């Protein structure tokens, strides 16, 4: 019991320590992730503002008075500028007029620039992919993005139908290239978006700049982040005229999502325009994928695994050794007290008959009986010592045994005890071959206990019936004694160690060790055993498969 408590305390302490340590690692990694996310947002915001300033500056220089084409402003900065602030982050931006109408927002698109021989920009336009993507195309892009997440995905070729100043995409080819030390691994995804006849062809192999702006929705949490940002944008649009929404930054957090938003305003050609920028990410998954958290958990897991293995092996060895020694000691003491009592009772009875000269003509018979019981006692002691050693060893040696002969031998051994108690033993055994593999000495001891127990509780001109039946390839042994039933309250304790006769089957005398010893032997053989009450007595059974 002391060993169990020590093992329990060690295991409990280990789990507690692991839980506290892993939570501490998670907390540190989460705070680190929050800091990195904030830094990434401000870097992205800075890049976005430079992009906007450059756009308006170029408009002023070129003296173009036409309406602003906001599609020329790129908001999907993580693709445009070649960095990804967070593994599970989504960034969107939008332009709004002074009435809160959204003029342009982040979407799947391609920005194309053409240059002359001096590498001066001679043409620039944006192709809207969002409008022409059906669900099948979206799913294909989503899978392609997910599979090539770390390689970088971009448009390598696109064919267009130009109608006045509008460009409609016809065919588009997405490309992903993984560069290793020895070679390049390229993957492509070709999609047809419309049925127009193309009249403009753009390829990255020409002197063209193709900037691919894709909303990277390769997980449900990214879609949740995007929806959260759109909801925030709609609220901003509805309250655009409130001073609190004109220029402000704020952070919003839920259980899984952390979101940062920025609102600002700018003036061009006498008109006020509002700029919204927002970034959201899955803080839980980002933390779990954070290198500091992953490495910390790996090292922690290795440490506790090795420690747990050492503790487990040591405790099992200690427990097994302690249990074997305890079982051996208990088995020997219990069996000695129980099994030696019966032959000693016979010896005492027969010797008293000789001393008192009750029947002088039977003295020779009594002496022979005493001699037989002494031999039996010697055999019992030998078996008990052997059983004690077997328990300590934790295994038993089996050999081929004739079950009928074994049972008949045990009946013969107990005939004198039965006669002394005026009990008749009747045997009805199958005539079919009953050869089994068992430890003959131990099984004899256990079946003998069944018979001895039945005789003990059938005193007073009653019967004990021993039967053996063959059932398919198994044998079913029953030992019946006429007498009182075993009460329901006693059913659970009858096999227990130290369950005396008056505790299990009435007020009969006994050490209570015989049945517990038999149970142990049956368990070592993997035999099914038990008992049941019948109308006029009790049946103890054994199922040998």
DSSP assignments along 112-158, one per residue: EEEE-TT--EEEEEEEE-GGG--HHHHHHHHHHHHHTTTT-EEEEEE
Best CA proximity match to 431, nearest among 465, 467, 461: 467
Looking up tokens 């401000």 gives 42
Strand order from edge to edge, sheet including 153-163 = 184-192, 166-179, 153-163, 200-203
pTM for the whole structure: 0.44
Best CA proximity match to 323, nearest among 394, 396, 397: 394
pLDDT at res. 467: 92
Q: How far apart are CA 55 and CA 70, in angstroms?
A: 9
Residue ranges of the chain with pLDDT lower than 70? 1-7, 47-48, 51-52, 54-88, 149-152, 179-182, 206-209, 211, 213-221, 241-250, 252-255, 289-291, 319, 321-339, 379-380, 382-395, 492, 496-513
Domains contained in the chain, CATH given:
69-282 (no CATH), 396-545 (3.30.565.10)
Cβ-contact 71, 109 below 8 angstroms: yes
pLDDT at res. 77: 45
Angstrom distances, CA of residue 88 to CA of 33, 212, 346: 11, 19, 87
3 state DSSP class of 529:
strand
Angstrom distances, CA of residue 443 to CA of 325, 431, 439, 450, 463: 21, 20, 6, 11, 23
Helix, strand and coil in the chain, % to nearest 5: 50, 30, 25
Looking up tokens 């906007």 gives 52
DSSP letter for 401, please. E
3 state DSSP class of 255:
coil
- Cβ within 8 Å of residue 84, ≥6 positions away: 78
Cβ-contact 403, 544 below 8 angstroms: yes
Q: φ, ψ for residue 509 (rounded to 5)?
A: -80, 145
Best CA proximity match to 258, nearest among 286, 289, 298: 286
Best CA proximity match to 434, nearest among 482, 401, 479, 395: 401
Q: Which two tokens stand for residue 425?
A: 């033993």
3-state secondary structure 33-101: HHHHHHHHHHHHHHHHHHHHHHHHHHHHHHCCCCCCCHHHCCCCHHHHCCCCCCCCEEEEEEEEECCCC
Q: How far apart are CA 253 and CA 235, in angstroms?
A: 16
DSSP assignments along 481-525, one per residue: EESPPPPGGGTTTTTSTT--HHHHSSS----S-HHHHHHHHHHHH
Angstrom distances, CA of residue 102 to CA of 72, 265, 301, 363, 444: 15, 13, 51, 122, 94
Hey, how many other C-beta atoms are within 10 angstroms of the C-beta on 97? 15
The Cβ-side half-sphere exposure at 407, using a 13 Å CA radius, reads 24
DSSP letter for 414, please. T
Cβ-contact 532, 543 below 8 angstroms: no
Best CA proximity match to 542, nearest among 519, 517, 516, 524: 519
Q: φ, ψ for residue 174 (rounded to 5)?
A: -95, 140
Q: How far apart are CA 471 and CA 85, in angstroms?
A: 74
Q: How far apart are CA 192 and CA 38, in angstroms?
A: 39
Q: φ, ψ for residue 473 (rounded to 5)?
A: -105, 15
As beta bridge partners, residue 539 has 480, 532
Cβ-contact 452, 417 below 8 angstroms: yes
Q: How far apart are CA 129 and CA 109, in angstroms?
A: 5
């Amino acid at each position: 019991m002391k060993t169990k408590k020590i093992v329990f305390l060690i295991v409990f302490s280990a789990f507690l320590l692991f839980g506290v340590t892993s939570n501490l690692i998670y907390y540190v990694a989460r705070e680190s992730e929050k800091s990195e996310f904030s830094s990434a947002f401000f870097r992205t915001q800075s890049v976005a503002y430079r992009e906007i300033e450059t756009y308006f500056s170029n408009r002023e220089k070129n003296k173009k008075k036409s309406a602003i084409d906001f599609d020329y402003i790129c908001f999907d900065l993580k693709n445009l500028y070649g960095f990804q602030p967070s593994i599970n982050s989504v960034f969107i931006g939008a332009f709004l007029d002074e009435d809160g109408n959204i003029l342009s927002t982040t979407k799947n698109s391609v920005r194309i620039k053409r240059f002359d021989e001096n590498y001066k920009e001679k043409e620039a336009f944006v192709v809207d992919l969002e409008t022409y993507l059906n669900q099948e195309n979206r799913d294909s892009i989503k899978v392609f993005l997910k599979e090539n997440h770390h390689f970088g995905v971009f448009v390598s070729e696109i064919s267009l139908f130009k109608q006045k100043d509008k460009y409609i995409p016809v065919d588009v080819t997405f490309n992903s290239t993984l560069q290793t030390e020895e070679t390049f691994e390229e993957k492509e995804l070709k999609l047809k978006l419309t049925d127009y006849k193309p009249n403009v062809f753009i390829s990255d192999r020409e002197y063209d700049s193709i900037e691919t702006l894709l909303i990277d929705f390769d997980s449900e949490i990214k879609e949740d982040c995007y929806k959260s940002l759109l909801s925030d944008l709609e609220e901003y649009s509805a309250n655009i005229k409130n001073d609190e929404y004109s220029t402000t930054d704020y952070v919003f957090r839920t259980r899984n999502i952390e979101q940062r938003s920025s609102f600002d305003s700018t003036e061009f050609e006498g008109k006020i325009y509002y700029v919204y920028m927002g970034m959201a990410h899955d803080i839980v998954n980002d933390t779990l994928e954070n290198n500091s958290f992953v490495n910390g958990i790996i090292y922690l897991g290795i440490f506790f695994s090795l420690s747990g293995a050492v503790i487990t092996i040591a405790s099992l060895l200690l427990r097994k050794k302690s249990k074997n020694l305890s079982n051996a000691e208990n088995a020997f003491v219990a069996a000695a007290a129980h099994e030696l009592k019966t032959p000693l009772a016979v010896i005492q009875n027969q010797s008293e008959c000789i001393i008192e000269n009750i029947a002088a003509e039977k003295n020779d018979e009594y002496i022979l009986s005493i001699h037989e019981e002494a031999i039996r006692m010697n055999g019992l002691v030998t078996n008990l010592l052997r059983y004690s050693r077997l328990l300590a060893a934790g295994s038993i040696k089996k050999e081929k045994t004739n079950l009928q002969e074994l049972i008949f031998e045990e009946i013969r051994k107990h005939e004198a005890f039965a006669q002394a108690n005026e009990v008749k033993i009747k045997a009805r055994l199958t005539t079919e071959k009953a050869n089994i593999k068992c430890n003959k000495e131990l099984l004899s001891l256990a079946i003998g206990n069944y018979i001895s127990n039945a005789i003990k509780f059938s005193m007073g001109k009653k019967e004990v019936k021993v039967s053996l039946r063959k059932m398919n390839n198994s044998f079913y042994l029953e030992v019946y004694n006429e007498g009182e039933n075993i009460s329901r309250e006693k059913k659970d304790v009858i096999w227990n160690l130290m369950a005396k006769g008056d505790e299990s089957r009435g007020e009969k005398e006994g050490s209570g060790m015989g049945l517990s010893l038999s149970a142990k032997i049956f368990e070592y053989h993997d035999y099914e055993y038990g008992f049941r009450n019948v109308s006029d007595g009790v049946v103890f059974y054994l199922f040998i498969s």
